[in-house]
Amino acid sequence: MYFQINEILTRSDSYRNAFKRDYTNFLNSQLELKKISGVNISYSHFYNNEAGLGSHQYDTEQAQFQYYVYQHKDKLGIMHFAIIFVRATGKAHALDWYDNIYDIDDLFIEQALPFNILVEEGKHASCTDMNGDGYYTPGYDVNVRKNDAWGVRDIMRSGDLFSSDYQSYMSKVRKPEHRVFPPMPEGSKLWKRHLVNGKYAPDNAVYQLRQMPSPVKARNKILKHDMESYYQEKSPTIKHQSSKDELVDWFIGDNFINSVGVSYRLDDGQSGVSVSLPLLIVKNVEAPLIGGWLVNRLLFPGK
């Protein structure tokens, strides 16, 4: 597992030196929480092989996490900080429209932390699993653009796709022995919870967390091309928040993508252009019972 701090959103009243980079050892770099409103961290999962259509050696998929930094000064003038987990995104085959996005809902007591990510068998798409039960439930594990979310489609490793939208038969049952645990410091709650005869999670694999390397270190051309699509040479990107609206937009900006479609059609000598727009122009409207979206379509037939 490789991590990369993609973006840091600085507070409106302070934006200098929010991130203090250690050029000799990046892992010793520091985040100045009092100057920061939000942090976006990306994790890349590395796999030795990919199965199914277009199979190849070495594969990566990503999961992204967004955090809000809250600060409050008490009556004694002491500043308190809280890092609030806001959103998790499981990336599916490098197509943003298929993102599996879950916005944290503090009313759901079933939410499990550390947050769980489901991995598609063979093709490795990442999917959010809000309560860590090993099942993908649309609308429950994904609550943003759920009609377009990829979910987990283990059937993809066969090279066939039977439906454009997710169906429950596409996913296999995950079992406890399939879990891959994060490395945890001794004495932490999670470490103690999974301690067996003095050993942490002895019946499961435990991944290693490392800093994201440069694509030039990739083992072959396919892996290098894959890494170049998401690697940030100058990481993290520092963005300045000048208003509360910009703070909100930073967290939900990915909700409105690829919303306008323009197409041209030529059929038996007849041609025309069509333009598709969101129903409310500035907002997408889902059709929850039948799936998909409600849109305006303008047709311009002619020669």
Backbone angles phi, psi at 222, to 5 degrees: -65, -45
Q: What pTM was computed for the model?
A: 0.81
Q: What percentage of the chain reaches a pLDDT higher than 90?
A: 43
Backbone angles phi, psi at 238, to 5 degrees: -100, 120
In the chain, the number of structural domains is 2
Do 26 and 73 lie in one domain? The reply is yes
> What was the pLDDT predicted at 299?
85
What is the four-CA torsion angle of 281, 282, 288, 293, rounded to 10 degrees?
Answer: 40
Residue 149: which of 84, 191, 208, 103 has the closest Cα? 103
Do 166 and 119 lie in one domain? The reply is yes
> What was the pLDDT predicted at 284?
67
> What was the pLDDT predicted at 4?
95
**Which residues have a Cβ under 8 Å from the Cβ of 280 and sit 6 or more positions away?**
none
> What was the pLDDT predicted at 282?
62
186 or 303, higher pLDDT: 186
CA–CA dist 113, 260 (Å, integer): 37
Q: Could you report the per-residue pLDDT of 66-124, keeping only the tens digit for each?
A: 999 999 999 999 999 999 999 999 999 888 888 999 998 878 888 878 899 999 998 89
Q: In this structure, are residues 180 and 204 in contact, taking their beta carbons and an 8 Å threshold?
A: yes
What band does 182 get if pLDDT is binned at 50, 70 and 90? very high
Length of the chain: 303
What is the four-CA torsion angle of 144, 116, 5, 239, rounded to 10 degrees?
Answer: 30
Do 192 and 278 lie in one domain? The reply is no
Do 44 and 76 lie in one domain? The reply is yes
> What was the pLDDT predicted at 6?
93
Do 35 and 86 lie in one domain? The reply is yes
Is residue 52 predicted with pLDDT exceeding 70?
Answer: yes
Give the least confident one: 71-75, 91-95, 175-179, 248-252.
248-252
Do 132 and 191 lie in one domain? The reply is yes
What band does 43 get if pLDDT is binned at 50, 70 and 90? very high
pLDDT (mean) for 269-290? 75
Q: In this structure, are residues 151 and 138 in contact, taking their beta carbons and an 8 Å threshold?
A: yes
Do 82 and 185 lie in one domain? The reply is yes
What band does 240 get if pLDDT is binned at 50, 70 and 90? confident
CA–CA dist 182, 197 (Å, integer): 19
pLDDT (mean) for 131-157? 89
Is residue 54 predicted with pLDDT exceeding 80?
Answer: no
**Cα-to-chain-centroid distance, residue 284:** 20
pLDDT (mean) for 197-203? 93
> What was the pLDDT predicted at 197?
93
**Which residues have a Cβ under 8 Å from the Cβ of 215 and sit 6 or more positions away?**
224, 227, 228, 231
Expressed as residue numbers, the domain containing 279 is: 261-302
Q: Which of 223-227, 238-242, 264-268 has the highest mean pLDDT?
A: 223-227
Residue 203: which of 173, 183, 180 has the closest Cα? 180
> What was the pLDDT predicted at 211?
92
As a whole number, the mean pLDDT across the chain is 86
What band does 209 get if pLDDT is binned at 50, 70 and 90? very high
Do 18 and 65 lie in one domain? The reply is yes
> What was the pLDDT predicted at 157?
82
> What was the pLDDT predicted at 94?
80
CA–CA dist 191, 151 (Å, integer): 29
First-to-final CA distance of the chain: 55
CA–CA dist 62, 47 (Å, integer): 11
Backbone angles phi, psi at 240, to 5 degrees: -100, 130
Do 204 and 296 lie in one domain? The reply is no
Do 183 and 267 lie in one domain? The reply is no
> What was the pLDDT predicted at 105?
82
Do 176 and 271 lie in one domain? The reply is no
Do 281 and 242 lie in one domain? The reply is no
